[in-house]
Amino acid sequence: MQNEVPNKDNDLSSVNSVFTNCIFLADKPIGFTSADIVRIFKKSFDINKIGHSGTLDPKATGLLVLCTGKMTKRITEFIDYDKEYEGVIKIGATTKSFDTETEEENFKDVSGVTEDDIMKVRESFLGEISQLPPMYSALKHKGKPLYKLARKGKEIERKLRTLFVSEFDVWKKSPTEIGFRISSSKGAYIRCIANDFGMKLGVGGYLKELRRTRIGNFKLEEFENNIREIPYRVIESIQL
């Protein structure tokens, strides 16, 4: 059952009880942090208790699952769900952040990269793989996010993670761009996959675009509501 959502011009504070224990599916725009989205929904709907079930980088767009009230008890469960992403890998250069946050460097000629090369590299990412979390991440070292240390040029030892990639489709969009769709277990850094993909091709690469399209059974779609230009849908009861 879907709740009736007030018009954004109405007094939202009067509908606080409607959104006390529910789930929002939001389509995060580029440039917002996941915490920004939480703050916007908290203030706009006068919600006391709200959290999200999986961070998206500011440069990424797509699905965020927001839980309010008693539904926040399920956040850990939703974090454990597998996730699906679509995006673009730029090859022929690298960046320190593995995405577009930092400048391109280490330029390489990509004229020798073939479709066969791309498909062979793709196969190496299927199944169980190990991944080293990037320095440009929200992981913390002694209470400080790694990305803040990375911006100061510091490198901290990190532990390898094991994850499972169930699907990985790739296609050549242009000589320097590879489109992809990937489904993986929790904890995957798609920026790392983009960086490693370019490295295995021998020309370097980084994540140019990323959009999360699914978290478990929650899917990104044309959401009918909008608050501060953020499309969303409200779920009152769910069956998973």
Catalytic residue ranges: 57
Asked if 175 and 110 touch (Cβ cutoff 8 Å), the reply is: yes
Three-state DSSP at 169 gives: strand
Output the CA torsion sign for 70, 76, 77, 81. Answer: positive
Residue with tokens 């007094």: 11
User: Could you say which DSSP state residue 197 is in?
Assistant: H
Report in angstroms the alpha-carbon separations of 187 from 49, 152, 204: 25, 25, 23
Q: Is 195 helix (H, G, I), strand (E, B) or coil?
A: helix
Q: Tally the C-alpha atoms within 13 A of residue 168's C-alpha that lie toward its C-beta.
A: 23
Residue 115, Cβ neighbours under 10 Å: how many?
10
The CA-atom distances, in angstroms, between 34 and each of 26, 62, 128 are 10, 11, 28
SS3 content of the chain, % helix, strand, coil (to 5): 25, 35, 45
Residue with tokens 């850990």: 76
